[in-house]
Chains A and B, each alone.
Chain A
Amino acid sequence: MSALKVNNLYRYFGDLQAVNGVTFEIPHGSVCGFVGANGAGKTTTMRILATLDYPTLGTAEVCGINVVHQPAEVRRLIGWMPDHFGNYEHMTVLEYLDFYARALGYKGQERRQRIQEVMDFTDLVPLADRFSNKLSKGMTQRLGLGRALLHDPQVLVMDEPAAGLDPKARVELKHLIRVLAEEGKTIFISSHILSELGEMCDSLLFINNGRIVHHGDAESLKQGSDSVGGVLYDVQIDDDPQAISDWCVLQPNVEFLEARKHGGRIRIDTQDPAKAADILARMVKDGLRVTEFHREQRNLEDAFIDILGRLDAGKEAVTPPPLPQQKLMAES
């Protein structure tokens, strides 16, 4: 049984199709990154999984329990950390955790035990008497994580937990997530920072316009893109960098990707090093004063952009899920 199972999930807000036939499964004990542009449908999908929203159509299950039919059972299994949350005025960190522990039904010694454990885990003990609305962003996120862990959930759903954090807080958060993963918890995490997700996630889910466009591990994603999307090269010239961009426009199988300080980044549509050497020779022959030409490792951002680019160009088809109206008619 999967920890998270989403099947043909739709969510409409009036005419807006926020989630458009999403299907995926995440096994127990794995860390899955959820990637997509703003408005792609990440938060809506996560909110449905956390029982905070409901699907227009389709099903979502946490550890085999339907989020719509048995929300109370799902809530016992899931820990939810939203992208932003306000803290209370006139309430200390300790009182904040105490409130949520009480609200989760913990009493007496057990409540104090749970609070102690999450405060130790998230390093909140020194901040216990600090007012919760006076914390820094990093401290607030640690408090949010502590709150989400109070009932020791099996599955943790985290929406953009690293957004707005400074590098130190980000490293700390990443470490906490890694420890939780080692504990065997299933973690479903969204972020814009793909490199970080690549480091800590077992698999990555890419969502675009409410549809899943890729599901796989970070390495296969990079390799898959390499074989299909060509090879990246960094080219430096002792000349106006614009010259490379102009040159690429005239070349078949060469695409200019981005400008850099003394040159640019290009994509060559071949895996063959000999062909790359030919292109370098052609550059020199055409008068470009090349000072550096080396192959670059593709990162996850490149792979993501590749996938989106191929979708835009229609090279990669996303299986269109059945439209809700058709489904409704079929049911009726």
Chain B
Amino acid sequence: MVDGKKSHRTQLFTIHDPRSTISTMSSPVTHLTDFSDRISPMLVKELRQGLRAKTFIAVFLALQVFLAVMLFSAGAASTSDHVGAVVSGIIFTFFAIAVLIVQPLRGTAALSSEVKGNTIDMMALTRLSAWRIVFGKWVAIVSQSALMLSTIIPYLILRYFFGGMNLLAEMVFLALLFLTSMALTAVTVGLSGCSSVVVRSLIPILGLPIMLWSLLVMSLSSGFRGSSGFLEICALDNTESRLAVALYVAAIAYIGGSMLSLGASLIAPAAENHSLLRRLAALALLLALFAATLLGETNTGAMVALVSVIAIPAIILALTESAPLVQTVCKPFAKLGAVGKLLGWLLYPCWSSGILFAIVIGLISLAGVFAHSAIASSFDAEEWVVIAALFGGLYFPAVWQVFLFRGDGQRIAHYLLLLVGSFILLGVLAALSNSMNNADFLWFFAWNPLAFIAMLDDSSASDSVLLAGAVVVDALLLLILFYGAIMDIRKSEPVVREAEASIQHAA
């Protein structure tokens, strides 16, 4: 049998003329026409799998059945004045549960399942880049959410006939829900590259109550009470609301993009630098923001919020780089000479350059906020203590990592756990100081900058002393990180020298 097949197999295997047609009309390959060649292979794969997944089918059907039943019930009770608003509230709430909770949660294993199944290696050997893999996975889940969105539109049209509908506000609200779902899906897909089961479990464990609480607040403040502040913003009838919505969309787009880029970094081969674009984008946005606030009048509180949205993800992702430094990554910088080498130590995707970048962008952010606050005379010492404590709190887990998890392959996972741990510690300390009406014992916990926030109300020390303490602790943390980074750079120097040598050799 084996010998009989040999010639047949050999003959088939050596046919390489793409113009030749498949002779067997009953061949299974003739069925392969359901997706266009123009669609990304990753999207094709994920849609094939995702549309057959039980979670998607169950949520999709449950949403349809529930909305149909609800509309019939509302139709029966249509004499009420507020029935239209109640119907809107119910439609939005259940759509929000589907797209803000269930769909993003489907992303929590998106990349880890590929890593665990050893299939990520096989994908890496194709023409798919790490970015295309992550992006394809994200688009597939978002496409399924879009399918859900499209199916609730008939119910919204029917709801229109119940009256009391602000069409623009509800459409904008629906669009914002969908965009938020896209961003949350990007967060879960990006973090799914972490091998740590604990971190991936934290997403549903911590994220679910937060989302449910937000949904509850949103529902109470909108549909169920007939009118609301949130829907008023969505009506876009004044400059502030239009600006608020635009900034919200920009912020979630930036966070979503950063998280997808994190996912790509986690699965990319060492020779790919996904940090470069991410870091340059953060720097550019920050500088643009400072320029914009100098030109127009901006509240310092709003500016701090915007700086935080840009800087915090950039700092966290830079502090947790775990890629090794390889020649291929150094070469583009080595070509630029001494300036390139200097830039490289800020933009390489490795741990030491991540630390340097995190310090630089953190200090730029602080300087910008300080300058704005000084011009506007807006912040007092107490507010600066909070800012300094939160700033140091970002670097605090990274310092622990220097001592506890050297050579860590999954820094992001351990960093997030330490960050959550230090915030839990802050909560415990604040509760203790409140119950004792004395926060002076918290000086023993001053190694964690977040302790200064807990000291604010009940400490005998003045705000200026607390601020000085927080600044000293922050400076020490940055110095430790800086020293660690310099030591690491010295170890990696030979790789950079090899890259420089190979460029000289090629020249």
Residues of A within 8 A of B (CB): 14, 47, 50-52, 54, 68-69, 71, 75, 78, 80, 82, 84-91, 94-95, 98-100, 102-105, 107-113, 115-121, 123, 125, 128-129, 147, 149, 152, 171-172, 175, 179, 182-183, 328, 331-332
Q: From A78, which residue of chain B is reached at the shortest CB distance?
A: B125
Minimum distance in angstroms from A158 CB to a CB of chain B? 13
* A152 / chain B contacts, CB cutoff of 8 Å: 16
CB of B22 within 8 A of CB of A112, answer yes
CB of B28 within 8 A of CB of A82, answer no
Interface residues of B in 8-31 (CB under 8 A from A): 8-10, 12-16, 18-22, 24, 27-31
State A34–B277 Cα separation when bound (angstroms).
41
CB of A129 within 8 A of CB of B28, answer yes
Query: Which of B13, B28, B124 has a CB less than 8 Å from the CB of A121?
Result: B13
CB of A115 within 8 A of CB of B15, answer no
B407 CB–A CB distance under 8 Å: yes
Minimum distance in angstroms from A31 CB to a CB of chain B? 16
State A88–B118 Cα separation when bound (angstroms).
11
State A98–B123 Cα separation when bound (angstroms).
13
For the complex with contacts A89-B49, A121-B13, A183-B13, 19 further pairs of A-B residues with Cβ separation under 8 Å are A51-B269, A52-B269, A54-B270, A71-B269, A88-B119, A94-B32, A100-B122, A102-B37, A103-B127, A112-B29, A115-B29, A116-B22, A117-B12, A119-B29, A120-B9, A123-B5, A175-B2, A328-B494, A332-B497
CB of A71 within 8 A of CB of B15, answer no
CB of B29 within 8 A of CB of A51, answer no
CB of B41 within 8 A of CB of A99, answer yes
Minimum distance in angstroms from B325 CB to a CB of chain A? 11
State A183–B20 Cα separation when bound (angstroms).
21
CB of A103 within 8 A of CB of B41, answer yes
* B466 / chain A contacts, CB cutoff of 8 Å: none
CB of A147 within 8 A of CB of B32, answer no
CB of A85 within 8 A of CB of B494, answer no
Q: From A133, which residue of chain B is reached at the shortest CB distance?
A: B117
B90 CB–A CB distance under 8 Å: no
* B16 / chain A contacts, CB cutoff of 8 Å: 152
Minimum distance in angstroms from B298 CB to a CB of chain A? 46
CB of B497 within 8 A of CB of A112, answer no
CB of B123 within 8 A of CB of A88, answer no
* B6 / chain A contacts, CB cutoff of 8 Å: 175, 179
State A71–B49 Cα separation when bound (angstroms).
30
Minimum distance in angstroms from B335 CB to a CB of chain A? 14
CB of B32 within 8 A of CB of A98, answer yes
CB of B31 within 8 A of CB of A94, answer yes
CB of B116 within 8 A of CB of A112, answer no
Query: Which of B8, B126, B270, B327 has a CB less than 8 Å from the CB of A100?
Result: B126
CB of A121 within 8 A of CB of B9, answer yes
Q: A54-B270, A68-B326 are in contact. Are A115 and B126 (CB under 8 A)?
A: no
CB of A102 within 8 A of CB of B328, answer no
CB of A54 within 8 A of CB of B49, answer no
CB of B121 within 8 A of CB of A102, answer no
B48 CB–A CB distance under 8 Å: yes
Q: From B10, which residue of chain A is reached at the shortest CB distance?
A: A179
Minimum distance in angstroms from B480 CB to a CB of chain A? 22
CB of B127 within 8 A of CB of A71, answer no
Q: A69-B327, A179-B10 are in contact. Are A90 and B121 (CB under 8 A)?
A: no
Q: From B17, which residue of chain A is reached at the shortest CB distance?
A: A113
CB of A331 within 8 A of CB of B494, answer yes
CB of B271 within 8 A of CB of A82, answer no
CB of B52 within 8 A of CB of A90, answer yes
Minimum distance in angstroms from A232 CB to a CB of chain B? 33
A-B contact pairs, 15 of them (CB 8 A): A50-B125, A54-B271, A68-B326, A85-B117, A85-B119, A87-B117, A91-B45, A95-B48, A103-B126, A108-B37, A113-B15, A113-B18, A171-B2, A183-B14, A331-B498
B218 CB–A CB distance under 8 Å: no
B208 CB–A CB distance under 8 Å: no
Q: From B39, which residue of chain A is reached at the shortest CB distance?
A: A102
Query: Which of B18, B28, B125, B497 has a CB less than 8 Å from the CB of A94?
Result: B28
Q: From A150, which residue of chain B is reached at the shortest CB distance?
A: B126
State A175–B4 Cα separation when bound (angstroms).
12
Q: A88-B45, A112-B30 are in contact. Are A80 and B125 (CB under 8 A)?
A: yes
Question: Which among A88, A99, A129 has the highest number of chain B CB atoms within 10 Å?
Answer: A99
CB of A111 within 8 A of CB of B326, answer no
State A147–B119 Cα separation when bound (angstroms).
11
Q: From A174, which residue of chain B is reached at the shortest CB distance?
A: B2
Query: Which of A107, A115, A119, A332 has a CB less than 8 Å from the CB of B494?
Result: A332
CB of B122 within 8 A of CB of A116, answer no
Minimum distance in angstroms from B410 CB to a CB of chain A? 14
CB of B37 within 8 A of CB of A111, answer yes
* A116 / chain B contacts, CB cutoff of 8 Å: 12, 22, 24, 27, 29
CB of A80 within 8 A of CB of B121, answer yes
State A229–B44 Cα separation when bound (angstroms).
59
B176 CB–A CB distance under 8 Å: no
The 8 A-B residue pairs whose C-beta atoms are closest, nearest first, are A86-B117, A102-B41, A128-B28, A103-B126, A110-B18, A90-B52, A107-B37, A103-B41
CB of A80 within 8 A of CB of B126, answer no
State A47–B120 Cα separation when bound (angstroms).
13
Interface residues of B in 88-126 (CB under 8 A from A): 113, 116-119, 121-126
* B18 / chain A contacts, CB cutoff of 8 Å: 109-110, 113
* B117 / chain A contacts, CB cutoff of 8 Å: 85-88
B128 CB–A CB distance under 8 Å: yes
B53 CB–A CB distance under 8 Å: yes
B470 CB–A CB distance under 8 Å: no
B42 CB–A CB distance under 8 Å: yes
* B21 / chain A contacts, CB cutoff of 8 Å: 109
Interface residues of B in 122-158 (CB under 8 A from A): 122-128
CB of A103 within 8 A of CB of B15, answer no
Minimum distance in angstroms from A71 CB to a CB of chain B? 6
Query: Which of B22, B124, B127 has a CB less than 8 Å from the CB of A113?
Result: B22
Q: From B22, which residue of chain A is reached at the shortest CB distance?
A: A116
Minimum distance in angstroms from B70 CB to a CB of chain A? 31
* B501 / chain A contacts, CB cutoff of 8 Å: 331
State A71–B124 Cα separation when bound (angstroms).
10
* A50 / chain B contacts, CB cutoff of 8 Å: 121, 125
CB of A86 within 8 A of CB of B116, answer yes
State A176–B53 Cα separation when bound (angstroms).
35
CB of B271 within 8 A of CB of A68, answer yes
Q: From A176, which residue of chain B is reached at the shortest CB distance?
A: B9
* B12 / chain A contacts, CB cutoff of 8 Å: 116-117, 120-121
CB of A104 within 8 A of CB of B121, answer no
Minimum distance in angstroms from A25 CB to a CB of chain B? 22
CB of A54 within 8 A of CB of B45, answer no
State A38–B22 Cα separation when bound (angstroms).
44
Query: Which of A47, A90, A100, A108 has a CB less than 8 Å from the CB of B49?
Result: A90
CB of A117 within 8 A of CB of B13, answer yes
* B126 / chain A contacts, CB cutoff of 8 Å: 75, 100, 103-105
* A91 / chain B contacts, CB cutoff of 8 Å: 45, 48-49
State A145–B479 Cα separation when bound (angstroms).
53
CB of B29 within 8 A of CB of A94, answer yes
Q: From A112, which residue of chain B is reached at the shortest CB distance?
A: B29
